[in-house]
């Protein structure tokens, strides 16, 4: 509840002290400034696995957050191509969790009929602070033998605190003054 009150104070303060109209301020508050160049995909490892009669190709890796802002719910898409660059497979993953081969083998049959997305078990697993990396696992089923190459793209990587990120881009001294006041209020112990 305290966070909501602080957020309300920030938005109200911005309205009071800025030259922006309500519509312009709303655009700044709602639009999450995302810079995917600050997210680096690495430590990639691809391997094949067979569960019963199902052939799987699994890609594991990590997304490192090199931005100044904590990210949440980083969603990545891998596309598999044949030698003629024809897409033969596509799968999404939410960063935060990988499972080992033994745990994969223990998945119920329904798992292999669905999207086979390994989802984080907790909200905390989906959070990637600056300078940290979050693991992911993408599972493809029954890829054709002509699959030769892959590409990836980050689909989503919102800031955990989008308003703070938006404010950080502003160089307006009044905004900084309001933020200082709100931080002083937030630092004051409840009585």
User: Taking residues 93-103, what's their average pLDDT?
Assistant: 93
Half-sphere exposure of 34 (CA within 13 A, CB side): 17
Residue-wise pLDDT for 2-32, tens only, equals 333 333 334 444 433 444 443 443 333 333 3
CB 74 within 8 A of CB 100: no
pLDDT greater at residue 30 or residue 146: 146
Residue-wise pLDDT for 55-93, tens only, equals 999 999 999 999 888 998 999 999 999 989 999 999 999
């Amino acid at each position: 509840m305290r966070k909501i009150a602080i957020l309300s104070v920030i938005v109200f303060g911005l309205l009071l002290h800025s030259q922006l109209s309500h519509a312009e301020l709303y655009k700044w508050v709602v639009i999450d400034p995302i810079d995917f160049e600050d997210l680096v995909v690495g430590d990639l490892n691809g391997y094949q696995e067979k569960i019963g009669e199902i052939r799987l190709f699994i890609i594991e890796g990590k997304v490192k957050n090199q931005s100044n802002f904590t990210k949440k719910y980083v969603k990545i898409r891998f596309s598999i191509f044949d030698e003629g660059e024809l897409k033969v497979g596509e799968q999404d993953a939410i960063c935060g969790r990988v499972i080992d081969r033994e745990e994969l083998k223990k998945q119920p049959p329904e798992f292999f009929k669905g999207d086979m997305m390994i989802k984080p078990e907790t909200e905390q697993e989906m959070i990637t602070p600056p300078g940290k990396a979050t693991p992911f696992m993408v599972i493809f089923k029954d890829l054709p033998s002509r699959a030769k190459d892959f590409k990836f793209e980050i689909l989503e990587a919102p800031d955990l605190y989008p308003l703070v990120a938006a404010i950080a881009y502003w160089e307006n001294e009044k905004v900084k003054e309001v933020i200082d006041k709100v931080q002083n209020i937030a630092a004051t112990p409840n009585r």
